[in-house]
Chain A
Amino acid sequence: MHRRVRRWSGGLAAALFLVSVSLLTAEPLLLAATAIPLIYVAYGALSRVPAGTDLQAARSVSDAQPTPGEPVEIELTLTNTGSGSLTDVRVIDGVPEELAVVDGSPRLCTSLRPNESATLSYAVMAKRGSYTFDAAAVRVRTLSASDEVTVDLPVAGDGTLTCSNTVSEVPMADATLPRAGTLPTDTGGSGLEFHSTRSYQPGDPVNRIDWRRYAKTDELTTIDYREEQAVRTVLVVDARPPARVTPEPGFPTGAELSAYAAERLFDALSRTSVVASVCAVGLAESDVPGGLGPDGLAWVDASGGHAAAHARQVFDSVGRAAARQSEADAAGDADVSGTKSRQPPGDDTQVTTADGGTVDDPDLLAVLARLPPTAQVVVFSPAADDWPVSLVSSLAVRDYPTTLVSPSLARGDSLGAAVAGVERTARLQRAELSGATVIDWDLDSPIDVALRASLADLFSV
């Protein structure tokens, strides 16, 4: 697109002003000085963008498949392949709207001689999903800035950034269990570890008859082994509005990180034949395809068909809810500094305290009501408020083996971040005191490391 900018027209008025003052004061120098504004008018009128202008752009992405929350370096190189010098070249890289630039600027203004290149580098915060970069917007101006050409320049090189949850490495790949279940019980039956012997009863498997004893005493006895049952594992993702906090704009929210950690664990558990259910708390009806259950929970049972696909839908729903919240915040011009938790207006604030003893939070009651009688529970929450502690305490009271995986959101040295960090640490300590295993996931280390620790604890491998 070519455009003329009439920015030097004021020179005519300036020239007339000089003529006026010259006449008023009979000063001939001012009459001659009209040459100055007039020459600028001519300068603006005669300047044109040269016809043979040609530019090429190439983009490189440092890590095309990063993990969420990881900054990705991007470089865009612009080369003047035309024959003339370009004094004013402005370029804006086509960063996908969803990705936030966290370092540097995707914009550049420079001057380029023929065959000279300029590189702009910046970093975006990786988010879950696949994103395609647009063409770079380039504007070339003349030296007088009175003539400009704007084009969308196709960019060679990397054009996509994919941040997926494909499990490249199963966290517990070396712990494939050749057993029916992983939880040792105190009852005898089939298994590996010796438990007791008892009198033979008709129907007992032949391979469990103690033949040596029969040879010695001529009595049929049956050996019982310690039974290992498969227990259900329920992954509870805290996606309530207070958990949708983010330390910096563009950074994944606490709810998204929780969902990510839960998804990694779900994938790992699926491969180790552990029966896992997924539950997301605090989603809106519109966030989940097919809507929520009657109790307001997004619950995927392991026993249902296509459990993995449904679970993935629930994890995606958490991302949608976080995106909806950030849009609402942007509309309301909300301040997103620090990691201070925010309650949306109208939100039910009846959150029980960890030591309150009474449970009147509807989400918490719904989770407790829905849990199967024997289950291990892994709660994923940034612990931005007391809700996860209340849940963990309530589960401990009901003898559920519980683990709390909490992504640490505190970043920066601001006072708000420090206060939020102290509050979170106190909550995690309270959760630990109530009997739960607490995994404090520092975002600088991969979630797999934290999950290995949690899996080792969980399944006593």
Chain B
Amino acid sequence: MDDNTTLSTRMPWTSLATVVGVTALLVAALLGTVSADRAALVGAATGVLLALSLWLSGWDRWRAVGTVLASILSLPVAVGLSVASAGAVVSLGAELFPVSSQTGIRPAVVTLLSQVFVVLGCLTAVFGASAATHGVVDTDRVGTYGGVVVRTTVVPFAVALALFARGAVDYLQSNAGTPGVQQLLGEALTQVLGPVFDPVPGRTHIAIFSLLLALAAAALARGIDSLPLAELVPETSEAPDIKGPLAAAERTLRWTGRLALLVAPVAGLFELGLGQESVAELLPRVLYDLIVAVTAAPGLRGLLWWLFLGATAVSLAVWFLRRTVQSSADRVGTVLAPYVGGGVITLAAVAVAGPAVGAIETALRATPAAAAVEQFLVPILDVYGAETVTLVLIVLALFAVISATGQLWIALVTSYLRERTAGVTLAAAGLFGASAFAATLDTPTWLVLAGLVGAVVVWDAGSFGTTLGREVGTGAATRRTELVHTGGTVAVGGVGAAATLGLSGIAQGSIVVEPSVAVAGLVVCLVAVLALVAAIR
């Protein structure tokens, strides 16, 4: 029997129903033990959205549409991930703190962390089970999705950076008069930008003006060169010949730029070395006045600056169009889609910035971190504005998604997660972890044991079903075998649960060692887990 058949690797319906059903039941029961209801629900929904995003990013039928949707969905995924982790911490922090005595801090921290881990475990379980339904967790797809999220993040990141830089410049310039570092930075900025955009009137600024002129002329020449103007004119005898004038204009602009570039250092030497009086004496009065009027006019400089920007934008647009017309529409759509999604996310962030920041501020004020809100958040909002802060938060959340996707990709590449069973392994791991941490909360023992056994059943049914689907295919009748196999696993789990209940009476009070010994034991256990996992792989 060949293991490398080309059959579908999807698992049969019975196994799939077992995986999805057991996961759904256990997640619902485990999330019921968490007091941060909203974070728990958002976490579960985020798991489904993440699986949907992965499926969309590998949607072959409508690749561009799938990429756009996956790109746009990265915002709710990022927000959901943040709410499920940071949001749960904030919500539980407000609920559990302040504590009445110092001895209450540790249990409160353990409870908070356990609840957060339960939420994250359930998120992972929901994601894994959803992904297992279509087998969407594979190296290529996760890599593609990671690329989509990275490219999606580029736009809000760039906008946030620009807004941040503008806010910083405005703030520093507005604080140039105050003492301290801000003054130094503000003065430095004023000294750099002032001569360029706001020259001192009544004297010549030939050097800087020449530099601006050179930049604008070179950019214009390049822009004209890149535009297909001559090609757009019809090739008839009546059509005007614009090739000659265009070439002449381009040549003139290039020479103007070169000349301006030559003039700049010489003029700079004269202006700095001789001083304005000597320059005024050297030149005829009319000429000097003309040069002063031209080189010190802020409007003219603004025009040159915008010409430079416009011509550069045209050159880039033409270059981009020349590249894209050589590719297929679907390919272009796939490449551009994440940037479009990033643009949509940026616009959405700007649109909801005020209410979003208000909600975050209100939530934070209810926690022990209320003082920090007053100390840090409010001044930051005053300086940078709600839009910038919202965009920065979204970019950070997107970075979290990129990080999670990257970890998943590394796990797949290094075969710590096998592609065939990645979904069910994640679901089982999430359930197992959530059940283990739920044991530290006021969770009934039966639920903890059911969670632990259920996690094993989910993994076993999923991996067994995947093997079955690969070897026999989903078209064959396999239900009987699947039910017998799962029944065996549940029965063995029942024996394990009974053994646990028997042992728990003996283990009661067994962990009464010193904290330092417990920590040492913990470290040993963690190292052993890592070594064992590495050895198994």
Chain A interfacial positions (CB closer than 8 Å to B): 6-7, 9-14, 16-33, 35-40, 43, 87-90, 92, 104-105, 107-111, 120, 137-139, 143-145, 150
Contacts and interface: CB of A to CB of B under 8 A. Distances in A.
Contact of B528 (A6, A16, A22): A16
B532 interface: yes
Interface in B483-524: 484-485, 488-489, 492-493, 495-497, 499-504, 506-511, 518-519, 521-522
A27 B518 CA distance: 12
Query: Top 6 nearest A-B pairs by Cβ distance?
Result: A36-B496, A32-B503, A39-B496, A32-B504, A105-B475, A35-B499
B471 A10 contact: no
Range class of the B interface residue count = 35 or more
A21 B508 CA distance: 16
20 contacts: A6-B536, A13-B532, A16-B529, A17-B433, A23-B519, A28-B504, A28-B508, A28-B510, A29-B500, A32-B506, A35-B503, A36-B452, A36-B496, A105-B472, A109-B472, A109-B477, A109-B481, A120-B477, A138-B1, A143-B484
A33 B473 contact: no
A10 B525 contact: no
B160 interface: no
Contacts of A24: 110, 518, 522
B493 A36 contact: yes
B480 interface: yes
A140 to B, nearest CB: 11
Interface stretch (B205-213, B299-307, B462-470): B462-470
Contact of A23 (B467, B475, B504, B525): B525
A192 B439 CA distance: 107
Nearest to B445: A29
A92 B484 contact: no
B448 A29 contact: yes
Interface in B85-115: 110, 114
Q: Interface majority SS on B: helix, strand, loop or mixed?
A: helix
Contact of B492 (A19, A26, A40, A145): A40
Contacts of A43: 492
Nearest to B493: A36
A105 B473 contact: yes
Given A13-B533, A35-B499, A87-B484, A145 B464 contact: yes
B23 to A, nearest CB: 17
Nearest to B522: A23
B1 A36 contact: no
Contacts of A38: 496
B440 interface: yes
A330 B378 CA distance: 65
A107 B500 contact: no
Nearest to B110: A25
A138 B472 CA distance: 11
B456 A40 contact: yes
Given A36-B449, A40-B496, A145-B467, A26 B525 contact: no
B164 interface: no
Contacts of B433: 17
A90 B522 CA distance: 44
Interface of B: 1-2, 110, 114, 432-433, 436-437, 439-440, 445, 448-449, 452-453, 456, 459-460, 463-464, 467-468, 471-473, 475-478, 480-481, 484-485, 488-489, 492-493, 495-497, 499-504, 506-511, 518-519, 521-522, 525-526, 528-529, 532-533, 536
A158 B478 CA distance: 25
Nearest to B468: A109
A32 B439 CA distance: 12
A19 B496 contact: no
Given A107-B473, A108-B477, A37 B456 contact: yes
A26 B511 contact: yes
B496 A108 contact: no
A143 B488 contact: yes
Nearest to A148: B1
Nearest to B521: A23
A202 to B, nearest CB: 83
A12 B532 contact: yes
Contacts of A145: 460, 464, 467, 485
Given A27-B440, A40-B496, A145-B467, A17 B511 contact: no
Contacts of A109: 468, 471-472, 476-478, 481
Contacts of B453: 36
A439 B511 CA distance: 91
Contacts of B528: 16
A30 B114 CA distance: 13
A108 B440 contact: no
A110 B12 CA distance: 13
B476 A31 contact: no
Given A16-B525, A19-B525, A40-B492, A31 B473 contact: no
Contacts of A36: 449, 452-453, 456, 493, 496-497, 499-500
A13 B460 CA distance: 16
Contacts of B497: 36
B518 A26 contact: yes
Given A87-B484, A105-B476, A145-B464, A32 B500 contact: yes
Given A13-B533, A144-B488, A39 B476 contact: no
A87 B436 CA distance: 32
A111 to B, nearest CB: 5
B461 to A, nearest CB: 11
